[in-house]
A and B are shown apart, each in its own frame.
Chain A
Amino acid sequence: MISQFFILSPQRGDTLIFRDYRHDTPRDTSDLFLDKLKTWHKEHGPDQDPPPIFNVDGVQILFTNIQGLYFVCTTKFNVSTFMTFELLDRIASLIRDFCGILSEECVRLNSSLIYELLDEVIDYGYPQTTSTDQLKSVIYEEPVLAKKENIIIDSITKLRAHGTNLGVSSNKPISKPIVNSHDEGRYKQNEVFIDIIERIVAFFASDGMTIHSEINGSIQIKSYLQDNSEIRITLSSNMAHGRDTYNSDDRFGIMFNDYKFHESVDSSDFEGHRQMIIFPPEGEITAMIYRISGDNLPFRIFPQILDVPESPNKIDIIIRIRTDFPEDKIATKCTVIVPLPHITQSVSNEHLDGFADQSARYDSRVRKVFWTINKLKGGTEQSLKIKVGLIFFWFYH
């Protein structure tokens, strides 16, 4: 189980939060961590963090970088790595839920609130609860808002259902039962935000054929609902799960390869009617994550390599991208990345179907061309010609 938890700010190497749960690792592990970080950055450049798990003098250190802050755990146990990484992630979102945002200033201003949280979230190195809903009833400290960000976080801090007169109420904290009763109904708005985020990962062969494609999606819910209302989400009924056989050859149906639900989701009716019943706790949750693999890609890419006659050390690469989605839809900020061979010497680009809203740039450090199209309309085609000059190996001939 984890021994220590700390949050570090990389700029000056300050420890913003430090909590020792087991006292079996040295107090100065945060310095050890910073040393490693600095040496690594010196060797590999400041963008490259060291591997997320490493061992210093028998102390295992696991960390993750969240919005520029390092969330670090140390342990002397053979801990579950997934548990630790999930935990670090959850602590970050709890700070967001309780303090409004996650930033160095915010963590500094709210350190006693965060300590209060940490005391409940982890006991003796064992994660206890990371549910904002449950924690709300045992956390008493008020958040201090970082000044500049007041406006943005205003709505988020509504999460905290505490009254303002904590001073009064905390004179007799004893009367507070475990279940939440701080709610004074002060915030009337019942709001809920639902995001669907999908990421497509596709592999193409050099002839443009799709080797493999996959959609990783998640449904995220951020709820400010106060009365534990029930939300029902129904997905269009032509979706099927990989395990279902009855409509597996329906060519319009979409098959889930896998899906997972948050614990607040009642999914008993999902198999039958694609319905989820959710009692969203306050705060942000990922209600569902799913994976779909299939050939229905929204766009296709056709690369073509041409030898330039008379110039054996030059090649032209033509890349066409064709969109296969309805014309009224627009894809924004698309980037096509073209890796070039080792012996690339010079690169110049030429847009064939000239639309102003795109750019292509060659990064010689990684030998890749980055072609960015800000607005890509459905049912259209764009192309780019890359003229590549190669280092001429005259001694081969």
Chain B
Amino acid sequence: MVIAVQSSVNFKMSDAKYFQRGKIHELRTELNSEKKDKQHTKKKTVLKKIVANMTMGNDMSALFPDVINCMQIPVLEIKKMVYLYFINYSRTKPDIAVMAIPTFMKDADDHNPLIRALAIRTMGYINVDKIIDALVDPLRRCLRDKDPYVRKTSAMAVAKLYMHDHELVECEGFVDLLRDMLADPNPTVVANAVAALTEISERSNTITLKLNTTVANKLAAALNECTEWGQTYILEALMSYIPQDMGDAEVLAERIAPRLQHANSSVVLTAAKVIMYLMNYMTKEEDITNLCRKLSPPLVTLLSNGHEVQYVALRNILLIIQRRPEVLRNDIKVFFCKYNDPIYVKLAKLEIMFRLASVSNVDQVLSELKEYATEVDVDFVRKSVRSIGRLAVKIESTADRCIAALLELIQTKVNYVVQEAIVVIKDIFRKYPNQYESIIGTLCENLDNLDEPEAKAAMIWIIGQYADRIENSDVLLDDFLFTFLEEPVEVQLSLLTATVKLFIKRPTAGQELIPKVLKWATEDVDNPDLRDRGYIYWRLLSTDPATAKTVVLSDKPRISTESDNMEPALLDELLLHISSLSSIYHKSPQTFIPNSKIRHLTHSPVLNRRYPGQQQQQPNLLDSDIENLASGSLGIEANPYNLDVVNIGENYVGDLLLDL
């Protein structure tokens, strides 16, 4: 019967309306039928039909008065369906909904706890002022009900009420009642009270959930008795506990640690979040190390789940190891990509492999990366090639092998592989000057196939930088200059700087090119960066060629992979949001959820101001900017390395998720 109704969806709009009107009439007649229906089975069938129509989005609100009449029927299944109907249509028919109040009041006082709870739960869903007002008295009573099922339902109802009317809840003292419930003997009630309080504190400007040591420890003790979901709420609430004395954080972390062995991955990761948070308030390195050791096996186990869960786990692990690499330092092998991992899992794994790579495991990582670079998926191959280059920059002892691997890849002549390789080789040249220039010849064989701006810019940089070693550098540059005006600005900037370098190093070879380029840059191009840089070079060269030389050819600041790391402030914030959506997007919640409260590490006497991740401060941006300005390449060389390498990973997956 239900299936027959289904076909209405496919009708044209006008047909559907007509059909519905007829249908509603039919349903009404059936519902009001006077026929003998001792066990109300017929009414039940009609209501089921109405619910099925509701699901499909057919408007059943016209039946409101008739459905209200069914409220009195003492059959629980019918009551539940009627209530479900109310939740759906009360908003549109507030006047009629009010007629249900007496029955609600009766139910809320019923001697069956199931029905009491049902009434309270349903009333909370109906955002009609009069019903909400009517809810206040029974709710206060039910919060102190003798049955825990009613109490836990009532706790949730307070949260519902709060969303509807902040003031009402505060005036009626419900928040205090909730607070009292934290001491309830029933752990499920405690968990729901905690969840309600957490939500209220998240939404309210005046109320903030703060737990003191006693309450925090009591809650932690209740964990054992709770359902898995209750454990998640309690753990989440423990994030609002701020340890004040030495040893507080340690004791609590010790209590929470057994949660890491729970079968529910949500409990595991929330526990990991609280432990990571508490580490900020620990004094002894030894305690932190012990806890880190406990974190690693459960985190690895999360990876044995389905792809969705794996992906979520990987994104969170990426955050955790940026602050505490020791957690998974010895487990790098579990992040090796499987051939059948979906691309988003593979890319997330690559990022983690790179970060965990160290002198002791770099051989394995490199041989894995070489395998990946010959796979079929273009994005994956690109990122693998790039990771090989980054590895060379990160770990000096492995640079030789990385270069050899890259050269091998260039020999494959696969276009995008070659281009990626050139981009990273540029960085290797910068990091290890005067070591690998012998491979320039090989690179120059591949000039014709470059069509990506980034690879082009990198190659041009190499030509400019080694203008005096590459015999025909002027010819090569001239070839590139042929399309100067059509190139993207990134390539234009690079061409400008390279031509200046050529001119300074080999004046005779560059003297024909330089006026041409300066003129284009300053007169024919609209981009202010390019124009300004053009003028700076022009004036430098025309006023004081000697100074120009020292400025343009000055030593470049060292590059490293340290700055690949996320900005410490953002990392701090994201670590407080482990397991949530923002830990997947790697974006602060404010950016995608309006009005969400900002979380930060609150000060306390035992807060560690410096954690491992922050000890190595990034180079002072201002200084390096000045140096780069001096080397005449601000904007290109100042930080493309850091930005583009990180962005490929972060944005690719981020975009995949966000911009669907």
Contact = CB atoms under 8 A, between A and B. Distances in A.
Given A55-B657, A81-B584, A342 B414 contact: yes
B308 A85 contact: yes
Contact of B74 (A128, A173, A177, A337): A173
A116 B111 CA distance: 21
Interface in B32-79: 39, 41, 47-48, 51-52, 54-57, 74-77
A289 B263 contact: yes
B121 A53 contact: no
A178 B114 contact: yes
A20 B89 CA distance: 12
B77 A124 contact: no
Interface string B261-290: 111111011100000000000000000000
A36 B156 contact: no
A341 interface: yes
Of A123, A205, A211, A367, most buried by chain B (CB within 10 Å of CB) is: A123
A40 interface: yes
Contacts of B658: 54-55
B309 A82 contact: yes
A170 B121 contact: no
Contacts of B232: 80, 83
A297 to B, nearest CB: 14
A367 B270 CA distance: 41
Given A109-B2, A173-B76, A291-B300, A78 B577 contact: yes
B379 to A, nearest CB: 13
Of A53, A54, A259, most buried by chain B (CB within 10 Å of CB) is: A53
B51 A111 contact: yes
Given A58-B594, A211-B333, A126 B192 contact: yes
B51 A115 contact: yes
Interface residues of A, number: 89
B77 A170 contact: yes
A153 B21 CA distance: 38
A205 B580 contact: no
Of A128, A167, A178, most buried by chain B (CB within 10 Å of CB) is: A128
Interface stretch (B145-153, B388-396, B640-648): B145-153
A330 to B, nearest CB: 25
Contacts of B124: 124
A34 interface: no
Contact of A55 (B84, B91, B589, B660): B660
Interface stretch (A186-194, A223-231, A260-268, A308-316): A260-268
* Chain A binding surface SS class: mixed
Interface in B337-381: 338-339, 344, 364, 367, 374-376
A119 B583 CA distance: 29
Contact of A81 (B153, B163, B580): B580
Contacts of A78: 577, 580-582, 589, 593, 596
A174 B115 contact: yes
A119 B84 contact: yes
Interface in A263-292: 263, 286, 288-289, 291
B39 A167 contact: yes
B611 interface: no
Contact of B110 (A22, A170, A174): A174
A203 interface: yes
B159 A14 contact: no
A127 B227 CA distance: 10
Interface in B215-239: 227-229, 232-233, 236
Contacts of A170: 74-77
Contact of B56 (A14, A242, A339): A14
A176 interface: yes
A260 B262 contact: yes
B156 to A, nearest CB: 5
A127 B297 contact: no
B374 A342 contact: yes
B339 A337 contact: yes
Contact of B312 (A14, A81, A211): A81
B333 A86 contact: no
Contact of B339 (A81, A128, A131, A339): A339
A205 B367 CA distance: 9
Contacts of A341: 374
Interface residues of B, number: 100
B9 A53 contact: no
Contact of B75 (A14, A58, A173, A291): A173
A178 B57 contact: no
A126 B200 CA distance: 14
B474 to A, nearest CB: 29
* Chain B binding surface SS class: helix
B376 A138 contact: no
Interface in A107-124: 108-109, 111-112, 115-116, 119, 123-124
B336 interface: yes
B80 interface: yes
B308 A260 contact: no
A16 interface: yes
Contact of B229 (A16, A52, A127, A259): A127
A79 B232 CA distance: 11
Interface string A329-361: 000000001010110000000000000000000
Of B124, B192, B308, B579, most buried by chain A (CB within 10 Å of CB) is: B308
Contacts of A126: 156, 192, 195, 229, 233
Contacts of B30: none
B499 to A, nearest CB: 33
A214 B332 CA distance: 13
Contacts of A108: 2-3, 6, 52
B77 A141 contact: yes
B397 interface: no
Given A140-B76, A242-B297, A82 B269 contact: yes
A112 B660 contact: no
Interface in B299-338: 300-301, 304, 306-309, 311-312, 333-334, 336, 338
Given A80-B232, A112-B77, A115-B51, A86 B581 contact: no
Contact of B336 (A21, A203, A242): A203
Contacts of B51: 111-112, 115
A201 interface: yes
Contacts of B309: 82, 85
B265 A86 contact: yes
Contacts of A140: 76-77, 80
A214 B308 contact: no
A235 interface: no
A36 B659 CA distance: 11
A14 B658 CA distance: 25
A172 B74 contact: yes
Contact of A260 (B195, B268, B333): B268
A287 B3 CA distance: 39
B417 to A, nearest CB: 10
B55 A15 contact: yes
B230 to A, nearest CB: 9
A62 B127 CA distance: 26
B436 interface: no
A50 interface: yes
A248 interface: no
A257 interface: yes
Given A140-B77, A176-B112, 17 more contacts: A18-B57, A81-B581, A82-B268, A109-B2, A111-B2, A111-B51, A111-B55, A112-B47, A119-B84, A128-B229, A129-B188, A130-B227, A170-B74, A170-B76, A173-B74, A216-B301, A263-B228
A-B pairs with lowest CB-CB distance, top 10: A258-B297, A212-B333, A216-B304, A82-B266, A83-B266, A167-B39, A52-B308, A174-B112, A127-B229, A54-B660
23 contacts: A18-B55, A20-B87, A40-B660, A52-B308, A58-B593, A81-B581, A82-B309, A108-B3, A112-B81, A123-B121, A128-B152, A129-B229, A167-B39, A174-B110, A174-B112, A176-B114, A178-B147, A212-B334, A258-B297, A288-B263, A289-B263, A291-B304, A339-B339
